[in-house]
Amino acid sequence: MNKTLHQLYIGLFFFIGITSVAILLINSYSYYTLPLTERVFSSSHSFFKPSGSIGHGLGILGTLMMIFGVAVYMIRKRTRKLFHFGYLTNWLEFHIFLCTLGPVFVLFHTAFKFGGIVAVSFWSMVAVVASGVIGRFIYIQIPRSIQGQELDFKDIQKMDEELSVRLSSEYKLSASLIDSFEHHFKLQKYAGLSFSKSFNVMLADYFALRKLIPQLKKSLHESGITNTHAIKEIIKLFKAKITLTRRIGLLRTMQRLFNYWHIVHLPFAIIMLVIMIVHVAVTMVFGYKWIF
């Protein structure tokens, strides 16, 4: 999937998500803002209550989206025959989309009121989504191949060396210029950091880089490189090299955190799934079969 197609792919997810939520809010805002004791007298109650035609449908749709989102990603990830069936990163993005919008639909299904054992499932769902956001952040800090497979230390170092070669051979940059810029992002700076300190260092790097870019442009002009396109490409390569250096330094930390993340994420997902199945079974036993 090339860059343009990938942007359209992600853009479609955002469009569907934002549009769906906007339509729901526009049509149901007046109902959901009513006090619980007054909702039963609203003309919209038969549509938006948890067992209503729209509310119940949102619960079914949200549940199916979450189950499907988890299933297709796990099947793609663990089935060797499907290894070349799309990039794993793109499947992860599809999983995130379904498992983010699905819980939003379930939230509307509950009519924003929770109680009993269903509340446990709901808050487990919230924990799964929240931990998923953190997991995604950790995931992208670990360098991977185009197929989404984790790279080892030697592969990452090779990528870093290739970037240095491009800067020195393709754009004729001196070793002193490259070193002067990279001096602010030494490998030792990132070794052995905790998760909170890693995040703080990344934030500091972002602002440090913004200050250094004008200096780099000035140095490039002084060395005779004035072509705008070439300067943009050089800055892009430097940014990639800095990101790679940081990820090499944080590799062990992020790998350890990712293992811990699985320990937290999985139990909440299982609790949510079990209670959700019980909830669906009970509603069917009591005859809540939506429009069928």
Cα 279 to the chain's mean position, in Å? 28
Residue 272: how many other CB atoms lie within 10 Å: 23
Q: pTM for the complete prediction?
A: 0.73
List per-block mean pLDDT (blocks of 10 residues) for the chain, which spans 292 residues: 83 95 93 89 90 90 91 85 79 90 90 76 83 82 67 76 82 78 75 76 83 85 84 86 80 80 82 84 78 58
SS3 assignment for 14-82: HHHHHHHHHHHHHHHHHHHCCCHHHHCCCCCHHHHCCCCHHHHHHHHHHHHHHHHHHHHHHHHHHCHHH
Q: What single DSSP character describes residue 150?
A: B
Q: Residues 6 or more apart from 22 whose CB is under 8 A from it?
A: none
Question: What is the helix (H) or strand (E) element at residue 268, kind and residue range?
Answer: helix 251-285
Q: How far is Cα 57 from Cα 46, in angstroms, rounded to an integer? A: 12
What is the pLDDT, as a whole number, of residue 105? Answer: 93
Where b means 16+ CB within 10 Å and e means fewer, 135-171 reads bebbbebbbbeeebeebeeeebeebbeebeebbeeeb
Q: Give the span between the Cα atoms of 51 and 288, in whole angstroms.
A: 7
Bridge partners (DSSP) of residue 144 are 150
How much is the pLDDT for 291? 61
The three-state secondary structure class of 34 is coil
pLDDT of residue 98: 93
| pLDDT the model gives residue 65 | 93
The rounded distance, in Å, linking the Cα atoms of 8 and 177 is 37
Residue-level pLDDT at 17: 94
